[in-house]
């Protein structure tokens, strides 16, 4: 009977110790997570139809490789219009800077001589009419008609003279500046349209593996839609959750050891980022005991020796021992 009672008391005491040890929060010495790589997301630059995808999903790509080609017919037409505008502006500026043709100046000079002859003739005709009017041989109306013709001839002479002067002196400097500005604007518009045309060819901006092509050839995509995703060709980083007790002990640039499932050796890593906000429940809603269960998302870059590791496998960052 005593043996049975002793066994029951021992069992109760052992169970109590287990419960007490389970209720005591333990601080883990590892931050758990997975290996990740930088993902480069490429978006469409126009609402156009995809005409080609030269590289298949999952293949290795280099920076500058063509991944997605959009239809270029409409943009090619806009580009041709802007090229014509540049040629037009260049021709107009050249006309202003070269001055008038010698043939135009010679024609204006001949027109001035003709206007001068008409002016002399009109002046003499007016003088004769005035002399005859003094002798009462013509009417005043005849004299007034001769006066009007003289004034008209003088005005035509002045106009011809001004025309010749303009041709000889050339255009104003302000007109040349304006034409130059118009040419610069046309060239800027042309460069813009050329860039828009170039952007219809979606090219890899980094070397890596082509992870995804969400659309197929022949589909029309919306503006800014994701059309290609690249996993950067570099050593991965561990994306892990740092327990709250360790968060204040870590610094950006700190060296940490990283272990990966399936590999016996560890890798050297550098803490490159740690979140300033805890995951899930905000800290101010928790008491002191609950705060120890918070976790902060962090990223630890691995060295080049880990460049061949696949993405997505579990990883553990070994945290410094708490004192």
1-12 pLDDT, tens per residue?
Answer: 434 433 443 344
Whether pTM > 0.85 for this model: the answer is no
Which residue in 77, 86, 84, 76 sits closest to 188, CA to CA? 86
Q: What was the pLDDT predicted at 240?
A: 94
Question: What would the CATH number be for the domain defined by 42-68+204-232?
Answer: 2.40.50.100
Q: Which of 66-80, 113-127, 255-269 has the lowest mean pLDDT?
A: 113-127
Determine the longest span between alpha carbons in the chain, in angstroms.
Answer: 174
Q: What was the pLDDT predicted at 9?
A: 36
Report domain 26-37+234-318's class.
Answer: mainly beta
pLDDT, mean over the chain: 85
Q: What was the pLDDT predicted at 245?
A: 85
Question: Is the separation of the CB atoms in 258 and 238 below 8 Å?
Answer: yes
5-52 pLDDT, tens per residue?
Answer: 334 433 443 344 334 444 444 445 889 999 999 999 999 999 999 999
210-240 pLDDT, tens per residue?
Answer: 999 999 999 999 999 999 999 998 889 999 9
Read off the pLDDT of each residue in 179-197 and give the average, rounded to a whole number.
96
For the chain, the structural domain boundaries read 26-37+234-318, 42-68+204-232, 78-194
């Amino acid at each position: 009977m005593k043996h049975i009672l002793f066994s029951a008391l021992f069992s109760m005491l052992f169970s109590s110790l287990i419960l007490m040890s389970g209720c005591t929060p333990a601080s883990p010495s590892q931050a758990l997570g997975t290996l990740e790589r930088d993902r480069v997301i490429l978006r469409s630059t126009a609402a156009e139809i995809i005409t080609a995808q030269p590289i298949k999903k999952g293949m290795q790509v280099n920076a500058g490789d063509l991944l997605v080609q959009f239809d270029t017919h409409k943009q090619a037409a806009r580009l041709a219009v802007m090229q014509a505008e540049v040629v037009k502006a260049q021709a107009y500026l050249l006309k202003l800077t070269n001055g008038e043709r010698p043939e135009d100046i010679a024609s204006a000079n001949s027109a001035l001589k003709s206007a001068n002859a008409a002016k002399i003739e009109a002046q003499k005709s007016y003088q004769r009419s005035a002399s005859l009017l003094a002798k009462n041989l013509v009417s005043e109306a005849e004299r007034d008609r001769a006066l009007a013709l003289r004034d008209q001839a003088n005005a035509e002479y002045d106009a011809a003279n001004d025309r010749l002067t303009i041709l000889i002196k050339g255009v104003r400097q302000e007109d040349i500046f304006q034409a130059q500005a118009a040419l610069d604007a046309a060239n800027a518009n042309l460069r813009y349209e050329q860039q828009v045309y170039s952007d219809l060819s979606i090219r890899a901006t980094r070397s890596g593996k082509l992870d995804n092509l969400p659309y197929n050839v022949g589909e029309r995509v919306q503006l800014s839609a994701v059309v290609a995703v690249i996993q950067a060709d570099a050593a991965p980083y561990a994306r892990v959750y740092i327990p709250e007790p360790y968060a204040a002990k870590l610094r950006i640039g700190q060296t940490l050891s990283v272990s990966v499932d399936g590999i016996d050796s560890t890798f050297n890593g550098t803490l490159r980022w740690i979140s300033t906000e805890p995951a899930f429940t905000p800290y101010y809603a928790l008491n002191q005991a609950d705060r120890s269960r918070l976790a902060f998302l962090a990223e630890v870059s691995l060295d080049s020796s880990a460049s061949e590791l696949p993405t997505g496998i579990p990883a553990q960052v070994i945290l410094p021992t708490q004192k």
